[in-house]
Amino acid sequence: MKLEDVRPADCYAHAQRLLTEVASIRDEMGRAEDARPLPEVTEARPRDVYFAALATWNKADRLASEVGAQPVRFPPAVPILREVRPGHVIQVIDAVLRQIDGIKGRLQIAETAPLPAIDAKRQPCDVLMTLLRVNRELSRLLERPFTPSDVYRTVALASTYAVRLGATAELAPFERRRKPQHCYDRLLACHAAVAGLIAKQGEPTLAAGKTPADVLPGDVYDLASLVLGEIAFLHSLTPTAMPLHAFEPTASGHRLPAHVDQLARTLEAQLATIK
């Protein structure tokens, strides 16, 4: 299938197959299903689904490393964010499926889930919700789950993008004993802020709901990935934005939820200075 011919319904079918395959691995590993309700999201665009799929790739990549599966090459180069379409999303989903095949091989799982029938009514939001479910299930399979340190690096990159957009803000005060829920709250505020800036440029944006119950660091990572995607998209819409180079140093080290909360509050303040 040509990239330009791929529809959201095709992405949904592949994402559903991915969910079934991950459930097979979960059962083989003796892990319990994540039964928590998903957060509410509406009006998703292909770019939102693309960044959710990148988070899926990262989690599957860590699981593959943990079980000793052969590395899988990432799909073709990241597209221009203004031109992301369902075809780019399905490339990432299929790359994750190849990772999952390697993991199943290491675990000696022979069964293969069939591709579900295409449901033409499915939209990008349906694909996004499926990937969020996959991400939660993958998090339960990891011996080294995603931590506040992983989230911090993602938010730090988003903050760097904001600086390139001309944002200015002092580092927010450090507040002790923050929990993942606090980080999720602040990142929701960041998402709303960047969505407002994107809307000013005439582009539609994802509408994210309230903070769900029982938030885990892996959930915060998923949201941080969406926030990063929107800020990167805003950067691509801004001709005067300074470039961001891949070789620039990134944040590292052990981080607590309090550090993520501090940086997310800083990012929220940064976004408020962008006109």
Scored b (16 or more CB within 10 A) or e, 26-41 reads beeeeeeebeeeebeb
Whole-number pLDDT of residue 9 = 98
**The pLDDT of residue 61 is above 80:** yes
Position 31 confidence tier, pLDDT thresholds 50, 70, 90: very high
Whole-number pLDDT of residue 111 = 95
Position 52 confidence tier, pLDDT thresholds 50, 70, 90: very high
**The pLDDT of residue 149 is above 80:** yes
Position 77 confidence tier, pLDDT thresholds 50, 70, 90: confident
**The pLDDT of residue 59 is above 80:** yes
- Percent of the chain exceeding pLDDT 90 equals 91
Whole-number pLDDT of residue 76 = 76
Confidence (pTM): 0.96
Whole-number pLDDT of residue 252 = 81
Position 74 confidence tier, pLDDT thresholds 50, 70, 90: confident
Query: How confident is the model over 168-225, as pLDDT tens digits?
Result: 999 999 999 999 999 999 999 999 999 999 999 999 999 998 898 899 999 999 999 9
Query: How confident is the model over 234-256, as pLDDT tens digits?
Result: 999 999 999 998 888 887 899 99
Task: Share the mean pLDDT of the chain.
Answer: 96
| pLDDT (mean) for 21-36 | 97
Query: How confident is the model over 85-130, as pLDDT tens digits?
Result: 999 999 999 999 999 999 999 999 999 999 999 999 999 999 999 9
Whole-number pLDDT of residue 112 = 95
**The pLDDT of residue 162 is above 80:** yes
- For the chain, the structural domain boundaries read 3-141, 148-272
**The pLDDT of residue 75 is above 80:** no
